[in-house]
């Protein structure tokens, strides 16, 4: 299906401003940042979006979809559930080198900023975290059913721990610019995942 000129312009604005919103956050991204990144006037931006809020919400969806798509491609080619879970430490070990994650994790960035200031963005972050948690739980439960993962594994607890280790390490690496915390944490997470094996 061919996109209209308006749809193409809207997509162009989203793609050009996505790294800025992810790096600077909602509050830190100004209208000047948006016009500078796109080369468009304020009038053109407001002709496609009602306000900055609407741009921010669309940008979050776009940034999040890039990560989901990247992870899905890595996961789908893995033969078993342990290997699928190992995609997480493998990916986040090098997140500072991945263009889609260079500015940080959009879920983490949005969660820390929008918890009190932007209820709509907060709702999107909650939904994204819930989706991620369910995906991990599904992998664990499937692994238990296929006799690949120890039956005593608590999928709910393990998913919380996996996500907390990743987001905590990402936050520290982003703030310090030092990847050592990623190496140490992802080594630990890899061991945890391998220990689930029957």
pLDDT at 151: 96
Return d(Cα 137, Cα 12) in angstroms, integer: 35
Residues 18 and 59: beta-carbon distance below 8 Å:
yes
Residues 162 and 186: beta-carbon distance below 8 Å:
no
Return d(Cα 85, Cα 74) in angstroms, integer: 10
Average pLDDT over residues 75-102: 87
pLDDT at 117: 67
Compute φ and ψ for 123, nearest 5 degrees: -60, -40
What are the angstrom distances between the C-alpha of 104 and each of 9, 110, 169, 177, 183? 26, 10, 11, 11, 16
pLDDT, one tens digit per residue, over 162-180 is: 999 998 998 888 888 888 9
pTM of the model: 0.84
Half-sphere exposure of 133 (CA within 13 A, CB side): 17
Instruction: Give the pair of three-digit tokens for residue 99.
Output: 């263009």
Average pLDDT over residues 35-53: 88
> Who's near 38: CB < 8 A, 6+ residues apart?
12, 13, 16, 17, 44, 45
Return d(Cα 134, Cα 63) in angstroms, integer: 19
Q: Is 100 helix (H, G, I), strand (E, B) or coil?
A: coil
pLDDT at 155: 97
Longest dimension (CA), the chain: 60
Average pLDDT over residues 81-110: 81
């Amino acid at each position: 299906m061919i996109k209209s000129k308006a749809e193409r312009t809207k997509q162009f604005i989203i793609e050009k401003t996505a790294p800025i919103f992810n790096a600077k956050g909602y509050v830190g991204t100004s209208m000047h940042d948006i016009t500078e990144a796109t080369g468009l006037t304020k009038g053109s931006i407001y002709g496609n979006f009602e306000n900055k809020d609407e741009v921010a919400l669309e940008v979050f969806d776009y940034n999040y979809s890039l990560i989901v798509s990247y992870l899905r491609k890595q996961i789908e080619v893995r033969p078993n559930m342990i290997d699928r879970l190992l995609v997480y430490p493998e990916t986040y070990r090098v997140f500072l080198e991945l263009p889609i994650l260079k500015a940080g994790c959009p879920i983490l960035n949005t969660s820390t900023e929008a918890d009190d200031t932007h209820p709509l963005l907060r709702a999107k972050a909650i939904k994204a975290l819930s989706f991620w948690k369910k995906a991990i739980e599904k992998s664990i439960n499937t692994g238990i059913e296929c006799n690949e993962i120890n039956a005593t594994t608590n999928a709910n607890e393990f998913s919380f721990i996996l996500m907390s280790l990743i987001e905590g390490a990402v936050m520290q690496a982003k703030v310090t610019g030092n990847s050592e915390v990623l190496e140490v944490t992802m080594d630990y997470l890899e061991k945890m995942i391998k220990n689930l094996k029957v």
